[in-house]
Structures are given as C-alpha cells and as structure tokens.
C-alpha cells in the first residue's frame, strides 16, 4: 500500500495563497520599521517584517525513526508566509509542519518578497567536538559508517547560513554552522545587527570558545541563544542542556519575559553585543501542544 503521507503534504491542506496575492500588490519601497522576533523553541524563530511578511526558520520534529525522540511532540502546525531550513537534520527541517505559502529548503542564493530579503550562504555543519560532552563524530562513524568531516561529508552535514534583511535590520540565523567558515563567508555576512546562535551547556553544536569567536568576529548588536534544553518542550534524552549559566556569565544581558521581542533600527543603534534570552518562553500554547500534540 502506498503511504499517502510520504513527502510534502501541502496537497492535503485547505489553505491558499490569497494572502500572498494581496501582499504582492504592495509595491511601495521597503522602509525601516518594527521587526518582530518570536522564539518557538529549539532553533525555530518566526521573524515578521514591518509590512507583515513572516518567515519561520528551522521548525523541528522528532527523528523519523522514532527511536530517539527529542521533543514531547512534533512542531505545532503553524501558519507562516515563508518557511526556511538551514540543513537536513530533524531538529531543523520540519517544513512539512508549516502551513506556508513558500518553502526555502537549504536556500543558496537570494529570495525577495515584499520588504523581506532572505539570503542563504552554502557552508558546512559544525563538527568540532572538542568541547562537547560526547563525540558525535565518533558515534556516527562507528554506528552509521558515516564520516561527517568536510569536504566529502554527506548532504545532511552541509549547511546554509540564513540572513534576513528587513526594516533596516540584518539578522543571521547561524543554525548549526561551523564556527570557522572561510573568509569569503565572513565578508559576505558583513555587518550583523542580530545573531541567532546555538548555545547550551552541553556544548553540543559548538563550544563556548567557538561561540565567542563568532561574536568577536561578527560584533552583532544583539545575540539571541537557541538550541538549548526547555524542560517542557525538549526531552532529556536529547542530551541538550540549558544555557542559563552562559547567559549569567555574560556581562550585557536581558532575560525576556515573553517569547517575542520587537526591534527597530533606532533602538538597536545603542547596543553592542547584548544578549537577549527567551528562556523557557515559546510562541505557541504549550498546554494545548502537550495535551493534543498539534
């Protein structure tokens, strides 16, 4: 019997792109304005432009084998204009969980719509395990026969850095990218206002010394941690840990009380390498999600 749920499931959805038809009618020049950043746990962020164009980056799911669940349920079905994924790992690639008009899977190049510009730079996944609790390179090689070392790594260990530009603000979603990309990548990234960086006490993706290198190189105005343990979203068997200790040790920081933060260019101009930490707050109803799994 054919499994009808294999592959993209948009054909099963009842929504349409009437909203995008209306948005594309607005041909007025893009202007500086309010940009909302909403955190959905793990590495998932929804970013909304001044004109209301929304992008969800790196929605997550459990491993398709279901032998190693990271989350209590898969990502809640969420309406968004554009969905994007940095790389083909289960905790970043659940684009099928989005009710989206446009999907950008491992974008390389530039996509523009309304007042949102999204650029993807091809690079490689982090593989330096010198600071990690366990050596995932060794595990993959022994149990799966896969060598994740670049340049001949398999596709799932490729990576795309995603940069969003809207409202005069430039945001980089680092995903799980390596901390030491080649010089042409650093030049292409240029000035960054907000850096979304993977940070947790397990140093699973990269060590804190690697994070410091990225911050020192990019010199972003704001740093937002992601890819950390949230007790009622992420299961302990994920091996992820919290990042409170890293945040507490940082000089300039603010722990946010909600899962959303609104930025504008003027407000960012006085900031320099300030951490904004969402903590356990996520931009969906946890109670309904835990009960119904949707």
pLDDT in tens, 108-127: 999 999 999 999 999 999 99
- Can you say whether residue 126 is alpha, beta or left, with left for phi > 0 and alpha for psi between -120 and 50 degrees? beta
Quote the mean pLDDT of the chain: 94
Look at 35 and 5; give whichever has higher pLDDT.
35
- DSSP-derived 3-state class of residue 113: strand
Mean of pLDDT values over 164-176: 98
Inside any domain, residue 46: no
Residue with tokens 């079905």: 77
Confidence of residue 246 (pLDDT cuts 50, 70, 90): very high
Q: How many domains does the chain have?
A: 1
In the predicted structure, residue 252 carries a pLDDT above the cut 70: yes
The residue range of the domain holding 212 is: 107-292
Domain-embedded: residue 30: no
**Structural domain contains residue 203:** yes
Residue 261's pLDDT band, with cuts at 50, 70 and 90, is: very high
Peptide bond into 151 cis (omega under 30): yes
Q: Is residue 192 part of a domain?
A: yes
pLDDT band at 2 (very low <50, low <70, confident <90, very high): low
Q: What is the pTM of this model?
A: 0.96
Is position 153 within any domain?
yes
Model confidence at 4: pLDDT above 90: no
Q: Is the pLDDT of residue 1 over 60?
A: no
């Amino acid at each position: 019997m054919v499994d009808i749920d294999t592959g993209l499931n948009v054909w099963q959805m009842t929504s349409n792109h009437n909203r995008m038809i209306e948005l594309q009618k607005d041909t007025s020049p893009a202007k500086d304005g309010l940009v909302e950043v909403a955190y959905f746990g793990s590495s998932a962020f929804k970013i909304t432009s001044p004109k209301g164009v929304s992008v969800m980056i790196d929605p997550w799911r459990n491993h398709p084998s279901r032998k190693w669940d990271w989350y209590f349920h898969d990502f809640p079905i969420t309406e968004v204009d554009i969905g994007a994924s940095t790389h083909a790992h289960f905790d970043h690639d659940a684009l099928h969980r989005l009710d989206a008009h446009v999907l950008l899977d491992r974008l390389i190049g530039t996509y523009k719509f309304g007042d949102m510009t999204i650029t993807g730079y091809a690079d490689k996944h982090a593989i330096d395990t010198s600071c990690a609790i366990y050596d995932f390179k060794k595990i993959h090689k022994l149990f799966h026969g896969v060598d994740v070392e670049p340049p001949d790594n398999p596709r799932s260990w490729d990576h795309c850095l995603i940069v969003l530009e809207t409202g005069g603000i430039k945001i980089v979603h680092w995903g799980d990218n390596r901390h030491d990309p080649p010089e042409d990548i650093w030049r292409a990234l240029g000035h960054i206002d907000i850096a979304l960086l993977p940070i947790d006490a397990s140093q699973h993706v990269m060590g804190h010394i690697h994070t410091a290198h990225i911050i020192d190189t990019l010199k972003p105005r704001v740093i937002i941690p992601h890819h950390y343990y949230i007790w009622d979203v992420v299961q302990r068997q994920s091996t992820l840990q919290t990042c409170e200790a890293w945040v507490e040790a940082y000089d300039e920081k603010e722990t946010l009380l909600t899962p959303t933060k609104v930025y504008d260019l003027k407000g960012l101009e006085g900031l320099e390498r300030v951490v904004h930490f969402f903590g356990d707050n996520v931009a969906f109803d946890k109670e309904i999600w835990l009960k119904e799994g949707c």
